[in-house]
Structure 1
Amino acid sequence: MKKVLLTSLLFLFITLSFSQGYQSTKYGVRAGVNISNLDFDPAPIDRNLHRNGFYFGGFAEFSISESLWLNTELQWSAEGAKDEQWKANYLKLPVQLKFVVGQNLSIGIGPEIGLKTWQSSDNFDNFIYSGVGGIQYTLFEDYFIEARAVYGFNDMLDSNIVGPGLEAQQFTIQVGVGIKI
């Protein structure tokens, strides 16, 4: 049920972004570092659960009003844990509502869906559903720095492979830079 609800919300945001007559549209690229963590239940012993990786992607922002924007992205992200058995990379589609709260400051929140593009083992499901929230500060007219937190809503592990009883949810922090073209 969660998957259906999150997918429906994602398509609603995308549909709204293309159905409205926006005052302004901005495009750009962003990249940075990930610090991802797998939270296992029950917790495994003797594992380094953090993985430092990177992300990069492109985005389009659509103006809804002067202080509200719809941000859609397509990004690639290296995630999982440091242990070779628990590494995975994803192609992700985050969709955020961004609120301008100051002259150079904005915050965003929304859903994210990810498709597994590579894994070190067959432990992972093909799709992940997450929530993303972040803050962005514009340094110059088109350059910005950002920080985000991404929390996975579903169990990332394929229960047919790892067996019942072991579940993992992912939490990722992203810190990076971007430019609006």
Structure 2
Amino acid sequence: MKSILTTLVFVLFAFTGYSQDDKKEDNNSKDEIELKTKYGVRLAYNISNLDFEPDPDFENKHRNNMAFGGFVDFAVSNSFSILTELQYSAEGGGKDETLRVSYIQLPVLFKLYFGENFSAGAGPMVGIKTWSYEDGYKNVAFSGVAGIEYLITDILFLDARFSYGFSNILDNDASFEAKNTNIQIGVGLKM
């Protein structure tokens, strides 16, 4: 985990240094493009599940629910930005209510742009438990998230994300471990 974070920080500083050189060169040209920080809201459909180790002796179904939140997308250069988001996400397993857990999450996506309308990004995510059917879940969960985004108009976008839990979300006295996996299909507005 530390090596992943170290690599992300290194890449961030490399892109930031590169973008500063681009800005100096752009200031000398008449075709200067203004970098904008964008704000917005996002609503997503969750398809989540728990990845158990060892495999459980009960039926493990996915849970369908919603996620919603607000974000800030900081433009670093014309081809790179850092998106931070605060979202509520209902996750966990499906049929059995004891497997359901909801979080307030903070994903940070390091995004690369491929043309004007398409981007892809990845980064870390931390979640704080807001609700669970029974108290048997840890209060904090760490995950990795990756996704793609397509800008339909200047303000409307569609996206898809996949997140996988790095940490066991069950209390230490449980006989097995569980990690969240989640697919989100989202729509949002940028301002």
TM-score range, shorter chain: 0.7 to 0.9
Q: What is the aligned partner in structure 2 of residue 125 from structure 1?
A: 138
Aligned alpha-carbon RMSD (Å)? 2.4
Equivalent position of 1:135 in the other structure: 148
Q: After TM superposition, give the deviation of residue 24 of structure 1 in Å.
A: 1.7
1:26 aligned onto 2:30: no
2:88 alignment counterpart: 76
Residue in 2 aligned with 1:116?
129
In structure 1, runs of 5+ residues without a counterpart are: none
Count of matched residue pairs: 170
SS at match of 1:159: coil
Which of 153, 156, 160 aligns to 2:166? It is 153
Report how far residue 44 of structure 1 moved: 1.3
The answer for the alignment partner of 1:103 in structure 2 is 116
Q: Give 3-state SS (helix, strand or coil) of 2:104's partner.
A: strand
For residues 102 and 150 of structure 1, what CA distance do their matches in structure 2 show? 25
2:76 to 45, 64, 69: 64
Letter aligned with residue 139 of structure 2? N
Q: Structure 2 CA distance, aligned partners of 1:46 and 1:157?
A: 16
Q: Choose from 54, 63, 68 the match for 1:51.
A: 63
Name whichever structure is richer in strand by fraction: 1
| Whole-Å separation in 2 of the counterparts to 1:116 and 1:47 | 24
Task: Name the residue aligned to 1:178.
Answer: 188
**TM-score, length basis structure 1:** 0.86
Which of the two has higher C-alpha Rg? 2
Q: CA deviation at 1:124?
A: 1.0
Q: Are the equivalent residues in 1 in contact too, given 2:169–2:178 (CA < 8 A)?
A: yes
Percent of paired sites with the same residue: 46
Q: Determine if contact 1:88/1:118 at 8 Å carries over to the other structure.
A: yes
